[in-house]
Structure 1
Amino acid sequence: MTMPGRWLASPWRRSVLAVVAGALPMAAFPAPSLWWFALVGLVPWILLARAAPTGRRALYDGWCGGFGFVLAVHHWLLPNLHVFTFVIAALLGALWAPWGWLVRRFLAGTPSAGRITAALLVLPAGWLAVELVRSWQGLGGPWGMLGASQWQVAPALRLASLGGVWLLSFLLVLVNVAVAVLVAVREARVPAVAGLVATAAAGSAAWTWSPRPEVQSHARVAIVQPGIVDDGTGSADRRFDREERLTRQLAGQDVDLIVWGESSVGYDLGDRPDLARRITALSRETQAPILVNVDARRSDRPGIYKSSVLTGPEGLIGERYDKMRLVPFGEYIPARSLLGWATSVGEAAGEDRRRGTAQVVMDAGDGLRIGPMVCFESAFPDMSGHLARDGADLLVAQSATSTFQRSWAPAQHASLAALRAAESGRSMVHATLTGVSAVHGPQGQRIGDWIGTDASTARVYEVPLADGVTPYVRFGDWPVYGALLVLAAFAVSEGTRVTRRPRNAPGRPVPPARTTRGSPARPGR
């Protein structure tokens, strides 16, 4: 056994190495934003699982690597969830255990060209299956999907308009698998290079021929970011006063829409008609509708909701939107009767927020139709696609990440606007209370500068409005369906191989030949 082999023989050392290897792709996400690292960041993890001495050990390598990955992309939760961050990472990390087994199944030893070709399909498909499961809202949602690391790469955003963030994740894993084969298996380099060339050719063709959103007009959209307001009694009032003051500065700037962040109004406007009148007066003064977000107990129904409300010079406009997808252990506690004690450890709401029932497209006047989302919802590609299909000209996400102000979370959250814009072919405004606020055009390109976490300001953006439907909006999550078909075909193939295995297959003891008393066994009997 070589020196590295002896060192890795310790299960604990190997597990620690797997955790570190799984955490490496974090460098591709904001704040580091080393997007190119996503092309090779999985290679150490793949090489480790490939060299696992047994299938069971490969399962552990997948689990430990998944633990490291989840912990890395959610490390900013540590000051709030404390030890529960590790518990969540361990539970979600288990989703990658089968993926570790698949790596060993296809890449162990000296794989044939056929196994390498299959690996270039099955391993990315397995990764997408993991992302699909963990994207469920109850498990924390699709935060930290590998494809989201490419938010600032124009060719990648173009591909996102074809297959969404799912297609980007699939291609990134494919490239990592091919690079791992090039590094570790000299005899299989030809199919690995062929896979890379085919991926580059297909990606280039898709980039060249995929439809581009056609910009039809522009809208002047203002983001009002009040910045940090000291916590404590009256903070909602002080925040409102600051938002009012910043909004008043927009008078005379020919603005088409003004957007405030999540929880920008801390009282239900039905209970506080004085606040409703002040917002209406601001709209009249600025000659622009104002989209606010109310986080309060409703006056017309029981419970607390987070609601996007559009106000014009004459008062409320149209239907309000109630947030549908809530943050587990943040805005609600699952099985609160059993897990309610978690509020004493983290910063979960003392009372569960209520869910809305349907998305809403709002008419902001002059032909501008906006599709609001609230905070966490901007991580879900299906929500922005639904709004685009329903006729939204502009996507708007109202967010508040002040709890994680000095972490990587605000930049990670703002970067998701680029993916949602590219997928839907609609510009997206990401407005926050305390930063980072951002605007991205219909191809995912950045419009103007981001508003950082140290700013308290109102800023106007010239936002392009595009028409048409992207292939992703039209056909939905087709890369996911394709991945599931690949995995189903692999499962059928494995099942067939096992059932057709000969009785006296290698490794199965050969029964002694039957003999007649007093006579030797005859060959062939």
Structure 2
Amino acid sequence: MTITSSTERYGRLLASPWWRAALTVLAGALPALAFPAPSLWWLAWVALVPWMLLVRAAPTARRAALEGWLGGAGFLLAVHHWLLPSLHVFILVLAALLGLLWAPWGLLVRRLLGGVAGPGRVAAGLFVVPAGWIGVELVRSWEYLGGPWGLFGASQWQVAPALRMASVGGVWLVGFVLVAVNTAVVALVSVPRARAVGAAGLLVCAAVVAGVWGWAPVPELAGTVRVAVVQPGVVDGTGSVQRRFDREEELTRRLAGQRVDLVVWGESSVGQDLGNRPDLRDRLAALSRTVGADLLVNVDARRSDRPGIFKSSVLVGPDGPTGDRYDKMRLVPFGEYVPARSLLGWATSVGKAAGEDRQRGSRQVVMRLPDTRGRGLLVGPLVCFESAFPDMSRQLSRDGAQLLVAQSSTSTFQHSWAPAQHASLAALRSAETWRPMVHATLTGVSTVTDPRGRIVGERLSTERSAAAVYDVPLARGTSPYVRAGDWAVYGSLTVLALYGVVELLVWLVRRSAG
């Protein structure tokens, strides 16, 4: 009696459109727990199942699209919840708009897994549903829509087999396999006629992971380089820009005699343009002479030679700036510029959106360090948000970079999940490119990863103010992902196109027969 009444109450709950909507938002948010800081990475392999079960049971296609939208909005809100203090209510608007991208995915789930789906439809779903998810992630990864923060595959940043898959097909291949496993589990538990197909799908996914683990090449190590990371920590109040510079200078002086090859400061570590401040330029050059290595700093200031504010990675040697400079190309929406400011400029009145747009660089740059102690190193800089873009680190690797450096600052989000999420991206980028990455922050989580994506040495937490030295392994060769590019993305788009053609042909045949 108790079981029956509980089942009836559950059935009435799911019959209510409002309760279903609330459950769908919560189910869509569930995968966020697989990302840092919770880092429940294992949850990602089944985290989509509750959401997909709701969508496949939707009474109509329109309802399935709605629940795809609601779940997508819930996912984005959960992954980006730490933006709430900055964007306030505007983050709800953004989540609702971008969540629409999952509406077609909801239609795919219902079409291929819903109703009395047979083995053929479920077998197609094992390919089409993950391909649809990758298509959604591809669209939302466009920098003007917020960029690729929170790609599903990035939740596996500390799992060695997943990192090996990333070296073959990038974070996209990892995401495809994750969604395929979730799809197979849904078939196994809810589609009686196709449970054998679901079980076979799980076995195929396991075989793919095992095959990549056993077959995929690994980077060949080629010596080490000593890199120092300077993390000043939180510096607030009046004169914070100058006091931060003084603290960075103090920490850098402690590196004298440690035979480092490069010293890296975080994003916005220098708050004035060096062309206008010869005193700062001379202090940096003196630091380089004291330490015996070049400094890679980051200048966030209005330029003296060009109009506007730029965020620039600048290499400084014993004689001052070497001429190697990289201007940040991909800016953080609302944080560094407001898209369509004439329409959305009101966001500055309800949050901490940028009052003035930063200017963009035009090309990526590989910097060459001086050939001291036989180490003429090629460094590929990225600034903050850019470490989330797989194509940027891949291009730097193709251009010859031996070491990737990401300069970032998460000072606004110190006590949220953001610092740990950002630092985790270094492991993905290293595994994809076979290039070690130094993730140096002003106030965040600083970390170093080797060419396989494994953490090197000590991670500097958000509470630390320190200078740390790392012996960073280098590697020779080129990863399969760097050579082949985004084949997992193109394959997913091909699967979607073929599915569309088949559906069109079936519709035409039925119409003709009718």
Tell me which interval the TM-score lies in, with the shorter structure as reference length: over 0.9
Deviation at 1:340, TM superposition (A): 2.2
TM-score (norm: length of structure 2): 0.97
- SS of 2:217's equivalent? coil
Alignment counterpart, residue 480 of structure 2, candidates 443, 449, 471: 471
Query: Unaligned stretches of 5+ in structure 1?
Result: 506-525
TM-score (norm: length of structure 1): 0.95
Alignment counterpart, residue 115 of structure 1, candidates 121, 126, 137: 121
Partners of 2:318 and 2:221 lie apart in 1 by 28
Matched letter for residue 39 of structure 1: W
Matched, 1:349 2:354: yes
Alignment counterpart, residue 306 of structure 1, candidates 305, 311, 315: 311
Matched letter for residue 371 of structure 1: G
Partners of 1:231 and 1:136 lie apart in 2 by 36
- SS of 2:77's equivalent? helix
1:422-461 maps to which residues of 2 (within 5 A)?
422-461=431-470
Q: Could you tell me which residue of structure 1 aligns to residue 15 of structure 2?
A: 9
Q: Could you tell me which residue of structure 2 aligns to residue 492 of structure 1?
A: 501
- Provide the alpha-carbon RMSD of the alignment: 1.1
Q: Could you tell me which residue of structure 2 aligns to residue 94 of structure 1?
A: 100
Q: Specify whether residues 368 and 15 from structure 1 end up closer, same or farther in structure 2 by C-alpha distance, changes over 3 A only.
A: same
Alignment counterpart, residue 407 of structure 2, candidates 398, 401, 405: 398
> For residues 194-231 of structure 1, what are the alpha-carbon distances to aligned partners after superposition, in whole Å with 9 as ceiling and x for unaligned?
11111111221111111111110101100000000013
Matched letter for residue 254 of structure 2: Q
Deviation at 1:109, TM superposition (A): 2.2
Q: Is the 8 A contact 2:86 2:353 kept in 1?
A: no
Alignment counterpart, residue 189 of structure 1, candidates 177, 191, 195: 195
Matched, 1:27 2:33: yes
Alignment counterpart, residue 425 of structure 2, candidates 374, 398, 416: 416
> For residues 327-347 of structure 1, what are the alpha-carbon distances to aligned partners after superposition, in whole Å with 9 as ceiling and x for unaligned?
111101112233223222221
Matched letter for residue 415 of structure 1: S
Matched, 1:49 2:58: no
Q: Could you tell me which residue of structure 1 aligns to residue 365 of structure 2?
A: 360
Higher-Rg structure is: 1
Deviation at 1:181, TM superposition (A): 1.1
Q: Could you tell me which residue of structure 1 aligns to residue 135 of structure 2?
A: 129
Alignment counterpart, residue 18 of structure 1, candidates 18, 21, 24: 24
Partners of 1:319 and 1:283 lie apart in 2 by 15
Q: Could you tell me which residue of structure 1 aligns to residue 326 of structure 2?
A: 321
Deviation at 1:424, TM superposition (A): 0.5
1:73-88 maps to which residues of 2 (within 5 A)?
73-88=79-94
Matched, 1:165 2:171: yes
Partners of 2:499 and 2:191 lie apart in 1 by 23
Partners of 1:310 and 1:356 lie apart in 2 by 16
> For residues 227-273 of structure 1, what are the alpha-carbon distances to aligned partners after superposition, in whole Å with 9 as ceiling and x for unaligned?
000133x2110000000000000000010110000000000000001
Q: Could you tell me which residue of structure 1 aligns to residue 246 of structure 2?
A: 241
Matched, 1:207 2:213: yes
> Which sits farther off after the overlay, 251-260 or 192-201?
192-201
Partners of 1:314 and 1:66 lie apart in 2 by 52
Matched, 1:279 2:284: yes
- SS of 2:222's equivalent? strand
Q: Is the 8 A contact 2:89 2:350 kept in 1?
A: no
- SS of 1:444's equivalent? coil
- SS of 2:300's equivalent? strand
Q: Specify whether residues 113 and 278 from structure 1 end up closer, same or farther in structure 2 by C-alpha distance, changes over 3 A only.
A: same
Matched letter for residue 363 of structure 2: A
Q: Could you tell me which residue of structure 2 aligns to residue 61 of structure 1?
A: 67
Q: Could you tell me which residue of structure 2 aligns to residue 523 of structure 1?
A: none
Alignment counterpart, residue 383 of structure 1, candidates 380, 386, 392: 392
> For residues 387-441 of structure 1, what are the alpha-carbon distances to aligned partners after superposition, in whole Å with 9 as ceiling and x for unaligned?
0000000000000100111100000000000000000100000000012111011
Partners of 1:198 and 1:379 lie apart in 2 by 29
Partners of 2:255 and 2:82 lie apart in 1 by 35
Identical pairs, percent: 67
Partners of 1:429 and 1:97 lie apart in 2 by 38
Partners of 1:428 and 1:79 lie apart in 2 by 30
> For residues 121-147 of structure 1, what are the alpha-carbon distances to aligned partners after superposition, in whole Å with 9 as ceiling and x for unaligned?
000000000000000000110000000
> For residues 20-73 of structure 1, what are the alpha-carbon distances to aligned partners after superposition, in whole Å with 9 as ceiling and x for unaligned?
000000110000001000000000001000100111110011011001100000
Q: Could you tell me which residue of structure 1 aligns to residue 158 of structure 2?
A: 152
Q: Is the 8 A contact 1:393 1:466 kept in 2?
A: yes
Matched letter for residue 312 of structure 2: S
Partners of 1:231 and 1:54 lie apart in 2 by 56
Deviation at 1:2, TM superposition (A): 4.6
Partners of 2:324 and 2:464 lie apart in 1 by 31
> For residues 439-482 of structure 1, what are the alpha-carbon distances to aligned partners after superposition, in whole Å with 9 as ceiling and x for unaligned?
01100001112100001000001100111111111111110000
Deviation at 1:313, TM superposition (A): 1.2
> For residues 470-512 of structure 1, what are the alpha-carbon distances to aligned partners after superposition, in whole Å with 9 as ceiling and x for unaligned?
111111111000000000001111111111114664xxxxxxx
Partners of 1:502 and 1:471 lie apart in 2 by 46
- SS of 1:296's equivalent? strand
Matched, 1:373 2:382: yes
Q: Is the 8 A contact 1:110 1:188 kept in 2?
A: no
Partners of 2:459 and 2:146 lie apart in 1 by 26
Partners of 2:80 and 2:25 lie apart in 1 by 14
| Runs ≥4 residues deviating over 6 A | none
Partners of 1:290 and 1:16 lie apart in 2 by 51
Q: Could you tell me which residue of structure 2 aligns to residue 224 of structure 1?
A: 230
Q: Size of the alignment, in residue pairs?
A: 504
